[in-house]
Every structure is written in structure tokens, then in C-alpha cells.
Amino acid sequence: MKKIVVGLICLLGFGFLYVVMQQQRHEESKAVYTIGILQTASHPALDAVARGFQEELQRLMGDTPIACVVQNAQGSVASAHTIAQQFHGSKKYDLFFTIATPAAQAMHAVEKQRPIIIAAVTDPAALDLVYQGSNVSGVTDMIDVPAQVSLLQKLVPTAKNIGIVFTTGETNSLVLVARMKSELIKAGLNPIEFAVGCESDVQAVMQVACRKSDCIVTPTDNTVASTISLIATIARSYKKPLIVSDNMLVAAGALASCGVDYEQTGQQAAQCACALLTKVKNITELPVEQPVCNQVYVNQETVQLLEIAISEDLRPSLTFVS
């Protein structure tokens, strides 16, 4: 009896999977355009990019049927390359959308003809993704570093030693850390690097950083985004201000950010894709765009916990979250 029940469950499972696959094939067969989306990993920022891209592209294209085939590498570089090979090997895709640096590098390594739109990549030129005649364009997530340092000084004017917590294996983080250090030094502050090798290092590294720093800053970093609840909890337990580069992370307990709105970045990337699909422009005519970083987000609860005094002239420019 038990074997029969197990067999029925398996049969139902395979049946459901078959229906889902057939539905996806049906949607793709109706589509005028098919787009392969390669996402590096799942966390709120990258998920927001994917959501913003798909929703905005559908809005821009109106009644034109579009099929988006989304594949997630789940943080594995090897998986990203495998998915990229599969995308490249299929002729049904009109263009590719890659989210974050490993996905962009994997796709560009194999696809040299069809357009690749990127997002959540800090410095694509430094990675040799963008050059004369390249089939790559899109939107970076390079933040306005001088504005971030200025915000830090306004919110925490007594801070001198600034800890920078980042992941050593993420090229995007290394690029941004270099710029952060330069701007902090220009402002007369003392930057101190605290490197994380993997997620299991975060707790110990953050504890050391909090003991040695007056304030903590983080670049756009996938490991930081994935462990932001832990990072913010430790910073708050030591009563250290935490300034992040991803606006979505403020809600997790960081003090503030004037960084990237990743859903808006996805929308910008969709505008690039629409221009290509509708033949308004070709890929070589699309310059890589900068993200719009015109809002400052502050966590009201963290402000109260750290007893941060916010000047009245600064308040109108802030968006408070809790």
C-alpha cells in the first residue's frame, strides 16, 4: 500500500512538472521575442532587478508577446557558465539579460553576436565587458561615492575611523572599495578594510570591525546583501552606524543609504532592451547608463537607537523607513 501511495505521489509530481513545462513552451511559442535572463543569485536586490526589468519591458512593449526564460545560478559561478552555454546554444533567444557580475561575465564569455543587457555590474569596462564593438550594454550599479561620504559626515560628524566591510571574491566590491577609500581619505577620514571570504566569516569580521571603527560602510556586495540582517544586528548591538550602498538594505536595520534602487535599475535596463527589440537602436549605439541615485533612505528605528541627531535642513531630503 505504501509503495502504491509513493508511486501515485511521484506520478502526480511528474504530471505537474510536465504541465508547467508545456505551459512555458506554449507561452514561448506565442512570443514574438524571447529573452534569456541569467541571474547570479537570489537575494532582494537582484530579485528586484529581475522584477523591475520584466514588468517594465512588458509595459513598454504593450501587446507584443514576450517570453522571458529566467535561470538562476544560485550563487554558483560554475552554474552561471553552464546556463550561459545553454542560452548560447539555443537560437530562439533574441537577447540576453544578465544580473550581477558573474552572470554578465559568464554570458559574455560565450555569446559575441546577440545583444547582452547587463545590470548590477559596478564597472563593466574594467571587466572588459564593454569596449568598441562590444555586444554588451545596460546599467551599472556604481553609486555616487562622494555623496555617500558626505552623508556619512552629516549623520555621524564625529566619526574618524571608517570600517569598510566587503567580500574579497567579488570584483564589483573591490572596485567600489578602492573608490570609497580614496574619497574617505580626501575627506580627512581613516578607512580600514575588513575583508570577508564567505558568508560564514561575516559574524567574526563584523565584530572586529565594530570594535575598531567609529562607523561601518559597505559597497554593493552580494554577500553583504545576503547577510544584511546579521550585519545590521551586529552593528546595532555595538551601536555603530552602518551606511550601505543598496537602498533596500536600510529596512533591515542599516542606518542609511544614498545608493542604488535596484528595481529602478531593472527598469532602466528594460528601456535598453526595448530600444533593441523595436530596432530603435542597435547595441553599439547604446552607452552604458549610470543608476539614478537621488534619494537618501534612513532607518527611523536605528536613528533612535543610536541617538543620531539629524539637522532640520537635512530632513527634507530624507526618506524614512522602519
Concatenate the DSSP letters of all residues of 90-145 into one string: -TT-SEEEEESHHHHHHHHHH-SSS-EEEEEES-TTTTT-S-TT-SEEEEE----H
> Which CATH code of 3.90.550.10, 3.40.50.2300, 3.40.50.2000, 3.40.50.300 fits the domain covering 30-141+262-285?
3.40.50.2300
Per-residue pLDDT, 245: 94
For residue 129, how far is the Cα from the chain centroid?
Answer: 17
* Whole-angstrom distance, CA of residue 264 vs CA of residue 44: 13
Domains 30-141+262-285 and 145-260+294-321 share a fold: yes
Question: Residue 58 is which amino acid?
Answer: Q
**Tens digit of pLDDT for each residue in 146-193?**
999 999 999 999 999 999 999 998 888 999 999 999 999 999 999 999
CA distance 178 to 299: 27
pLDDT tens, position by position, 92-146: 999 999 999 999 999 999 999 999 999 999 999 999 999 999 999 999 999 999 9
Specify the pTM: 0.80
Q: Which CATH number fits domain 145-260+294-321: 3.30.540.10, 3.40.50.300, 3.40.50.2300, 3.60.20.10?
A: 3.40.50.2300
The better pLDDT of the pair 10, 260 is held by: 260
Answer whether 187's CB lies under 8 Å from 193's CB: no
* Domain chopping of the chain, boundaries: 30-141+262-285, 145-260+294-321
Q: 266 to each of 182, 238, 271, 286, how far by Cα in Å?
A: 29, 35, 9, 16
In degrees rounded to 5, what are phi and psi of residue 130? -120, 125
Mean per-residue pLDDT, 207-235:
96
